[in-house]
Amino acid sequence: EVQLVESGGGLVQPGGSLRLSCAASGFTFSNYWMNWVRQAPGKGLEWVANIKQDGSEHFYVDSVKGRFTISRDNAKTSLYLQMNSLRVEDTAVYYCARDGAAAMGLDFWGQGTLVTVSS
Amino acid sequence: SYVLTQPPSVSVAPGKTATITCGANDIGSKSVHWYQQKPGQAPVLVIYLDSDRPSGIPERFSGSNSGNTATLTVSRVEAGDEADYYCQVWDSSSGHPFGSGTKVTVL
């Protein structure tokens, strides 16, 4: 059974940093692109970043470029999101999601971890 | 950035058909995916590559994509279909943006 379990969320002050983790199991992690998607309270989904199977390519939404870094450890079957210079508008539930084979959509999602940026 | 426009809400009676649109410039040339999200839950993929259904998704869910509009159609709507629905495209220049979302209400 495919499982994605996020952790690392919490309350942080504006300008602070946080590192999210996503533990993957039930599939060959190193075969798939992986993504982070966020959802602000009461708002819609926003794609944040993704990373290639071997970590050699990654892409970001404009609003987080230069502040967030996506990475992965295939040996530990884990995905990460390092978030620096956090802003109030980064407050959201952050989901880890697997990219289906051949760009067939995000076929498995974790339950999300809440990040609150507030003073 | 590539902007996807969805109607904020759609209301439909049980047993009828719900049609949810996703509009964008030349969206017909891109691959579109659709997700269903119920309150307090993670999204679920219901249509991928414009019109294919993942295993476990009822045949009542179908999709199409042409020109400037992609469409998700839910036939014979049931109470359990009440949810938010989001379109998403695979775009090499702007990542994988989502639409603004459509809340489907079953009357």
Q: CB–CB of B96/B32 below 8 Å?
A: no
pLDDT of residue A32: 95
pLDDT of residue B65: 97
Q: A92 CA to chain B: closest CA distance, Å?
A: 13
In this model, does residue B93 exceed pLDDT 80?
no
A 14-33 residues inside an 8 A Cβ radius of B: none
Instruction: Pick the residue from chain B with its C-alpha nearest to A103.
Output: B90
Overall average pLDDT of the B6-21 stretch: 97
Is B98 touching A (CB cutoff 8 A)?
Answer: yes
Distance CA B107, CA B98 (A): 26
Distance CA A63, CA A40 (A): 14
Percentage of residues in chain A having pLDDT higher than 70 = 100
| C-alpha dist (Å) from residue B1 to A76, B61, B93 | 34, 29, 8
> Mean pLDDT in chain B?
95
SS3 of A43, please? Answer: coil
Overall average pLDDT of the A23-31 stretch: 97
Q: Which of B96, B98, B103 to mutate to test the interface with A (most CBs of A within 10 A)?
A: B96
Overall average pLDDT of the A96-100 stretch: 94
| Of A59, A100, A111, Cβ closest to residue B95 | A59
pLDDT of residue B91: 72
pLDDT of residue A102: 74
Q: CB–CB of A50/B91 below 8 Å?
A: no
Is A44 touching B (CB cutoff 8 A)?
Answer: yes
For residue B1, what pLDDT band results from cuts at 50, 70 and 90? confident
Residues 6+ apart with CB under 8 A from B33: A104, A105, A106, B45, B47, B48, B49, B87, B88, B89, B90
In this model, does residue B92 exceed pLDDT 70?
no
Overall average pLDDT of the B18-47 stretch: 96
Question: DSSP string spanning B69-102?
Answer: EEEEEE-S--GGG-EEEEEEEEBTTTB--B---E
Amino acid occupying residue B105:
T
Angle value at C-alpha A3, between A79 and A41, nearest 5 degrees: 70
Is A78 touching B (CB cutoff 8 A)?
Answer: no
Question: How does pLDDT run across A49-90, given as a tens digit for each residue?
Answer: 999 999 999 999 999 999 999 999 999 999 999 999 999 999
Quote the tokens at residue B80: 């359990």
| Of B42, B54, B86, Cβ closest to residue A44 | B86
CB-based contact A44 B90, cutoff 8 Å: no
- Quick one: which of B95, B14, B8 has its CA closest to A62? B95
Percentage of residues in chain B having pLDDT higher than 90 = 91
Pick the range with the lowest mean pLDDT from A27-41, A52-66, B55-69, B81-95.
Answer: B81-95
CB-based contact A62 B1, cutoff 8 Å: yes
pLDDT of residue B94: 65
- Quick one: which of A87, A85, A88, A73 has its CA closest to A21? A73
Instruction: Pick the residue from chain A with its C-alpha nearest to B3.
Output: A46
| C-alpha dist (Å) from residue A108 to A39, A81, B53 | 16, 18, 14
| C-alpha dist (Å) from residue A95 to A3, A8, A48, A80 | 12, 12, 10, 11
> Mean pLDDT in chain A?
96
CA atoms within 13 A on the CB side of A94: 30
